[in-house]
Amino acid sequence: MAYVFIDGVLKGTVKSPESFVSKLIDQRRSGKVSKNLNIQYRENENIVQIQLDKNRLRRPLIIVKNGKSLLTENHLKQLKENKITWSDLIKNGLVEELDALEEESAIITMYEKDLKNKHTHLEIDPLIIFGMNTSMIPFAGFNQSTRLLRGQKNHKQGAGLYTLNYLNRLDTNVNILHYTQKPLVKTFTHDLYGDSVAGGQNVVIAILNHEGFNMSDGVVVNRASIDRGLARVSHYRPYSAERLRYSGGQLDEIKVPDKEVQGYSIEADYKHLDTDGLISPETHVTGGEVLVGKTSPPRFLSRQLETFSTAANITKDTSIKVKYAERGTVSKVLLTESKDGNPLVNIEVRDTRPIGIGDKVSSRHGQKGVIGYIEEPQNMPFSSSGTVPDILFSPFGMRRMTVSQLIESIGGKVGALNGRLIDGTPFSGEDSRDLRKELEDLGFLENGTETLYDGRTGKAYEAKIFVGNIFYLRLKHQVADKIQSRARGRVQLLTRQPTAGKAMEGGLRFGDMEKDTLIAHGSSLLLKERFSSDREIVSIGDRSGDIAEYDGYTDKFVSVVDPKETISKVEMAYGFKLLLEQLKSLGINPKLNLKDKFNQRKKQ
Amino acid sequence: MLMFQNQIREEYYENRMAQNLNWIRKKLPEGIKFKDEKLAKERYSKIQLDPGEAIGVISAQSVGEPGTQMTMRSFHFAGVAELNVTLGLPRIIEVLDARKIPSTPTMHIFLKSPYNKDKNKADKIAQQIKQTVLEDVTNQYSVDLARGEINILFDKDELKRRSLNLNKVYEQLSDQIKSADLKKKTASISIILKDKDIKKLYKLKEKLRNIIISGVSGITDVLAYKNETDEFIIQTFGSNLRDVAEIKEVDFARTKTNNFYEIESVLGIEAVREAVLREVMHILDQEGMTVDERHISLISDLMTRDGRIKGITRHGITKEKESVLARAAFEIPLTHLVDAAVSGEKDNLVSIVENVMINQPVPIGTGLPELFVKMDGVKPKPSKTTKKKAKK
């Protein structure tokens, strides 16, 4: 006797669990019970578990009976001729889906030729062990697993055509690749998803050093390729302004702000605004310029009372500005209503970004790199047929043993020359030996190498260079989003330390460990100079050691303790002055004992 | 008194000097003998540092750099068979923090000549060292409430394995239990309490379990292994340097422990200085890191400077810093500032951290030398000013 659980709830008992389970499975296959039912008998606990709930991951498997697959050649033929479909296979009990529970009791074999009596199921294809992204890596079976993980990660970051209706959507930080292509070397997954996964372009790639510009995962790109639109991306960024209502019937106003408004930027920033306070489409804008002019009423009620008393205009400028250091063209101005019924303006700024130095590119095999140099086309190497590679990839990248990239390269070459798409499905794709043979028949060396000539000298390289076609992705990490520098700029109000981060136009921190390096080097004055940008001159009483106060009548600093006390000006870091003042708030009164630096005996 | 102290200090420096010369002797290129006094001095002056060299920061960086690499590797445990000893970064942290008890206290006990060549003899001594409590060798306790008697039945095989017999156990028990009479039988010992109090009887029974009948207390496991020179060494789990020293087969001069507080109490602080140095060097060596010995010797000097072991923590050497600001800059600033305010401390702003804080040149490297100008008509009073400066 065994207990029966349905969706984890005890429902009853059965006398002979094994026959009960096999009977139920038979009924499921014949369609008498739901196809979503999964069942397992656990011998150790002596329970039967039936699962019918939602959101279980299930994998399809071909059913095997008496060591023979139920799915025959006949079925496959019918499938090819579109006479039957996938759901027919499931309906007829040829294929079933197992969840994590029932999978445990199944004995599955990978290939049909290995089938024995004990097997209950047959795998559809070995490709099924990969996820969606990993299965898009051609010839993945030749690689180390870590390379596949990196490869699929890069897939996810690739700029492409993420959706077809992107013109009707407002998504943050979107990159749309111009001229997306089908990969020359595809896998079965590409067939499944059709063109919707296009996310890169086929480029001619030579594995060759170029003046050290492609060392350590650098990449050298041909300028002519970029001019022709290689990996060009449109970057879209939405901005929105909502006309909010506040308590007391006050409203935001969308208009060109008056100059008296608090927080008014310079006039030039508002130059693109029309009389309605909105920018018009196809206007070119740069960072800091206003897209929507908006003013808000004061935030606090007490401020409002001031309004009545002084009659000054204290509405705030809350205009929407283009993000710092960004630029683009206004592509859309959308007037609509927000969820709460407030008027809402959505503006999309588009920016065409050709690929450039510092942008990240990757092949599908985890071989990511950053563009280190853009070479003039006349200086690029060329082959006897006049082919000039788009990208020069460093041979040191091959230490990562991404054999699949080399095979894709050969496959791509064959595909480009023969005008067909190569099937690079892992484990079951075309044989690389056949591809090499085909390449040889086309008049090339079977190992994919060619004699290349240096564009600068016209001399042939001594070694034969590996040239082929590879599908390349442009990843979403772009210099335009990240580049930043500053010499001077904003500081925080309290500490007078520079702000942090690109959005705040911040500085780069010279931190504790960096400070230690200067100490270790013994460069004491350089260290002082590095930290002395915020020095402050503080007046200190000579005897009391307290900070003196400024007296407006006499225009002098006077000690609080003793008016007759002499005062000295002391230079210190502003941070230290702040520390002294914060110590006072703690109930500690720090005092400074002064001593003349040059004449030790003068004061005391 | 002062004279005496100076004498000790001088002796100490001479010792250190001799050590350093020894060290040079090892590093001398082949064919050059140490007898060349001139060369030796030249070499010695070469390894001396310039005034104002930031040795502390350089040491910290030199140890810190391999430390960051060690976190990435996972080889942190090693040992013979089942005796796992903490190694790697966790152990270095433990040493530098000067924890009272190491997470895996262990000893390497060297043996004297006849015992260290034979496996059986070494094993025998190992069993002798291993702490045996009564519970380890008993099969069964039976308590007779009516007679106030506890009957202990012994495991004969276990006794034999630990080279014990009933007589020895009986002797040990009668030494340690005063409140009861003991009676020896063929395979058991019965203990009869003098006053028949049930509570006391149960207390005694609990106490009996942990009575040590042989071995060194604290050493819970032993293992004799052969080292590279075909010598048998006993590695232990648990450490008790003082008691191991009393075993006559043990070659105490070479015996090691990783419990520095034990070393301090048995051998003194200088031994700890050497032990810390060797331990850290050993760990770094095992991880394949090469750090110059002098960086670590600076750390171990600092840890043992005033005769007690102090860790590189806020309770240890950082607490001893003179400057309030420097202490506050390193962990729990508020506590340090408040404590300093309560006792009215003065900060003379003579060290590095403080001068970085107030943005003044730090007195190290190029910031150390000062320029003194002799002015006409002004008599220099160097002694007075330096005294005042020191006071401030």
Alpha carbon distances (Å) from A226 to A107, A222, A285: 53, 7, 24
Distance from CA of A406 to the nearest CA of B (A): 32
SS3 state at A568? strand
Contact B338 A588 (CB under 8 A): yes
pLDDT digits (tens, 9 = 90+) for B100-140: 888 889 998 998 888 888 888 888 888 888 888 888 888 87
Domain membership of residue B161 (yes or no) is yes
Alpha carbon distances (Å) from A129 to A60, A87, A119, B57, B376: 12, 22, 19, 53, 91
Q: Report the residue from B356, B366, B392 with minimal CB separation from A525.
A: B366
Confidence of residue A232 (pLDDT cuts 50, 70, 90): very high
Q: Report the residue from A524, A531, A532 with minimal CB separation from B366.
A: A524
Task: Give chain B's radius of gyration (CA, Å).
Answer: 29
Q: How many CB pairs under 8 A join A and B?
A: 76
Q: What is the pLDDT of residue B306?
A: 86
Mean pLDDT to the nearest integer, B181-185? 78
Confidence of residue B385 (pLDDT cuts 50, 70, 90): very low
Task: Give, as one character, the DSSP assignment of residue A498.
Answer: B
Domain membership of residue B283 (yes or no) is no
What strand order describes the sheet that includes A253-254?
A: A253-254, A294-296, A316-317
Nearest to B357 by CA among A526, A510, A579, A508: A579
Domain membership of residue B301 (yes or no) is no
* Domain of B150, in residue numbers: 132-214
- CB contact B187 to A (< 8 Å): no
Domain membership of residue B162 (yes or no) is yes
Residue A252, pLDDT above cutoff 60? yes
Contacts of residue A20, defined as CB under 8 A and 6 or more positions apart, other chains included, come to: A2, A14, A41, A48
CATH code of the domain in which B204 resides: 3.30.1360.140
**pTM greater than 0.80 (yes/no):** no
Query: In chain B, what residues touch A588 (CB-CB under 8 Å)?
Result: 337-338, 341
Mean pLDDT to the nearest integer, A149-162? 89
Amino acid, res. A169:
R
Task: Give the range among A511-520, B190-199, B214-223 with minimum mean pLDDT.
Answer: B190-199
Q: Report the residue from A524, A586, A588 with minimal CB separation from B362.
A: A524
Catalytic residue ranges of A: 217
Residue B389, pLDDT above cutoff 50? no
Return the residue of A nearest to B357 by Cα.
A576
Cβ burial A114-149 (10 Å sphere, 16+ → b, else e): eeeeebebbbeeebeebeebbbbbbbbbbbeeebbe
Q: Report the residue from B60, B341, B358 with minimal CB separation from A588.
A: B341
Confidence of residue A290 (pLDDT cuts 50, 70, 90): very high
Query: In chain B, what residues touch A571 (CB-CB under 8 Å)?
Result: 359
Contact B360 A516 (CB under 8 A): no
Nearest to A262 by CA among A310, A317, A321: A317
pLDDT digits (tens, 9 = 90+) for A10-48: 999 999 999 999 999 999 999 899 999 999 999 888 999
Query: In chain B, what residues touch A528 (CB-CB under 8 Å)?
Result: 359-362
Residue A1, pLDDT above cutoff 60? yes
Q: What is the pLDDT of residue A309?
A: 46
Structural domain total, chain B: 3
pLDDT digits (tens, 9 = 90+) for A392-425: 999 999 999 999 999 999 999 999 999 999 999 9
Confidence of residue A603 (pLDDT cuts 50, 70, 90): very low
Which position has the token pair 């210099």? A479
Q: What is the pLDDT of residue B160?
A: 80
Q: What is the pLDDT of residue A346?
A: 93
Return the residue of A nearest to B387 by Cα.
A600
Return the residue of B nearest to A535 by Cα.
B359
Rounded CA separation A521/A514 (Å) = 11
Mean pLDDT to the nearest integer, B79-94? 73
Return the residue of A nearest to B54 by Cα.
A520
Percent above pLDDT 90 for chain A: 49
Rounded CA separation B85/B98 (Å) = 17
Q: What is the pLDDT of residue A228?
A: 93
pLDDT digits (tens, 9 = 90+) for B23-43: 767 766 776 666 666 776 777
Q: Report the residue from B366, B389, B392 with minimal CB separation from A522.
A: B366
Q: What is the pLDDT of residue B35?
A: 66
First-to-final CA distance of chain A: 100
- CB contact B346 to A (< 8 Å): yes
Contact A528 B53 (CB under 8 A): no
Contact A522 B363 (CB under 8 A): no
| Mutation site for B-interface testing, chosen from A513, A517, A527 by largest number of B Cβ within 10 Å | A527
Mean pLDDT to the nearest integer, A269-284? 91
Mean pLDDT to the nearest integer, B246-273? 90
Q: Report the residue from A519, A588, A593 with minimal CB separation from B362.
A: A519
CATH code of the domain in which B374 resides: 1.10.150.390
- CB contact B54 to A (< 8 Å): yes
Q: Which of residues 21-40 of B touch A (CB under 8 A)?
A: none
> Average pLDDT, whole number, for chain B?
81
Mean pLDDT to the nearest integer, A243-269? 85
Domain membership of residue B36 (yes or no) is yes
What is the predicted ipTM? 0.74
The answer to whether residues B242 and B233 touch, using CB atoms and an 8 Å cutoff, is no
Task: Give the range among A25-29, A212-216, A599-603, B204-208 with minimum mean pLDDT.
Answer: A599-603
Query: In chain B, what residues touch A586 (CB-CB under 8 Å)?
Result: 334, 337-338
Q: Report the residue from A523, A528, A601 with minimal CB separation from B360.
A: A528
Contact A593 B389 (CB under 8 A): no
Rounded CA separation B136/B128 (Å) = 14
Q: What is the pLDDT of residue B226?
A: 85
Rounded CA separation A322/A299 (Å) = 24
Cite the DSSP H helix spans in A107-246.
145-157, 188-193, 223-227
Contact A522 B392 (CB under 8 A): no
Rounded CA separation A160/A200 (Å) = 6
- CB contact B359 to A (< 8 Å): yes
> What DSSP letter does each residue of A454-484 carry, written as one string?
-TTT-PBPSS-EEEEEEEEEEBS--HHHH--
What are the backbone dihedrals phi and psi of residue B79, each rounded to the nearest 5 degrees, phi first?
Answer: 160, 175
Q: What is the pLDDT of residue A599?
A: 62
Residue A131, pLDDT above cutoff 80? yes
Q: What is the pLDDT of residue B149?
A: 79
Residue A143, pLDDT above cutoff 50? yes
The answer to whether residues B200 and B224 touch, using CB atoms and an 8 Å cutoff, is no
Nearest to B274 by CA among B226, B309, B325, B235: B309
Domain membership of residue B249 (yes or no) is no
Q: What is the pLDDT of residue A300?
A: 62
Alpha carbon distances (Å) from B57 to A253, B94, B297: 59, 21, 14
Domain membership of residue B277 (yes or no) is no
Domain membership of residue B388 (yes or no) is yes
Q: What is the pLDDT of residue B218?
A: 86
CA A579 centroid distance within chain: 41
Q: What is the pLDDT of residue A473?
A: 92
Contact A521 B52 (CB under 8 A): no
Task: Give the range among A262-276, A317-331, A343-357, B173-187 with minimum mean pLDDT.
Answer: B173-187
pLDDT digits (tens, 9 = 90+) for B342-382: 998 888 888 888 888 888 888 888 888 877 776 777 766 65
- CB contact B375 to A (< 8 Å): no
Residue B219, pLDDT above cutoff 70? yes
Return the residue of A nearest to B365 by Cα.
A522
Residues of A with CB under 8 A from a CB of B: 515-517, 519-525, 527-528, 531-532, 535, 571-573, 575-576, 579, 583, 586-588, 593, 595, 600-601
Residue B392, pLDDT above cutoff 50? no
User: Structural domains in chain A?
Assistant: 2-129 (3.90.1070.20), 135-232+357-474 (2.40.270.10), 236-353 (2.40.50.150), 491-604 (3.90.1800.10)
What are the backbone dihedrals phi and psi of residue A110, each rounded to the nearest 5 degrees, phi first?
Answer: -80, -50
The answer to whether residues A206 and A223 touch, using CB atoms and an 8 Å cutoff, is no
Return the residue of B nearest to A513 by Cα.
B61
Rounded CA separation A577/A572 (Å) = 7
The answer to whether residues B303 and B309 touch, using CB atoms and an 8 Å cutoff, is yes
Of B214, B249, B274, which residue constitutes the final position of a domain? Answer: B214
Query: In chain B, what residues touch A495 (CB-CB under 8 Å)?
Result: none
- CB contact B353 to A (< 8 Å): no
Query: In chain B, what residues touch A527 (CB-CB under 8 Å)?
Result: 356, 361-362
Beta-ladder partners of A48: A4, A41
* Of B228 and B8, more confident: B228
Contacts of residue B176, defined as CB under 8 A and 6 or more positions apart, other chains included, come to: B211
Task: Give chain A's radius of gyration (CA, Å).
Answer: 36
| Mutation site for A-interface testing, chosen from B356, B389, B391 by largest number of A Cβ within 10 Å | B356
The answer to whether residues B153 and B142 touch, using CB atoms and an 8 Å cutoff, is yes
